C-alpha cells in the first residue's frame, strides 16, 4: 500500500472540484479525503495499491478538472490505518 498527498493550485475552489474528485474516486479501490485550504488551494490524500493510486491521479488529470489545475504537487506520505472510503472534509 502507498499513500500520496496532492496539493492542487489554480481555480480549484468554487467549481465543484472536491465533489468531482470524490466521484472519480468511486471508480478506484482506495481510501482518502479531499478538502479546501484557506489559501484557495485544494489538498487531497489517498492511499491504496500503487496501480489504483496512479490510475486515480491520472483520471483526475484526464477529467474536466484539468483546465482548473494550474499546478499540482504530489508528495509520498506514510499510509495510515482506519481510513474507509473517500470523503470530503471541511
Q: What is the pLDDT along the chain (90 residues), one digit of tens a residue?
A: 999 999 999 999 999 999 999 999 999 999 999 999 999 999 999 999 999 999 999 999 999 999 999 999 999 999 987 888 999 998
Q: Which backbone phi and psi does 39 adopt, to 5 degrees?
A: -90, 10
Whether 18 is catalytic is yes
Evaluate whether the domain defined by 2-76 bears CATH number 3.30.470.20.
Answer: no
For residue 62, the SS3 value is helix
List Cα–Cα distances, 81 to 28, 44, 63, 64, 88, in angstroms. Answer: 18, 16, 29, 31, 18
Q: Name the catalytic one among 4, 11, 18, 70.
A: 18
Which pLDDT score is estimated for 81?
79
Q: How many CB atoms lie within 10 A of CB 68?
A: 19
Q: 66 catalytic, yes or no?
A: no
Predicted pLDDT at 90: 84
Q: What are phi and psi of 65, to 5 degrees?
A: -80, -20
pTM over 0.95: no
Considering 5, 11, 35, 36, which one is annotated as catalytic? 36
Amino acid at each position: 500500500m502507498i499513500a500520496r498527498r496532492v496539493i492542487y493550485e489554480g481555480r480549484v475552489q468554487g467549481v465543484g472540484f472536491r465533489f468531482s474528485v470524490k466521484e472519480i474516486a468511486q471508480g478506484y479501490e482506495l481510501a482518502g479525503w479531499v478538502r479546501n485550504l484557506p489559501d484557495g488551494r485544494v489538498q487531497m490524500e489517498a492511499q491504496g495499491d500503487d496501480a489504483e493510486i496512479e490510475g486515480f491521479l491520472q483520471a483526475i488529470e484526464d477529467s474536466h478538472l484539468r483546465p482548473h489545475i494550474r499546478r499540482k504537487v504530489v508528495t509520498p506520505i506514510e499510509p495510515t490505518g482506519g481510513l474507509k472510503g473517500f470523503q470530503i472534509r471541511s
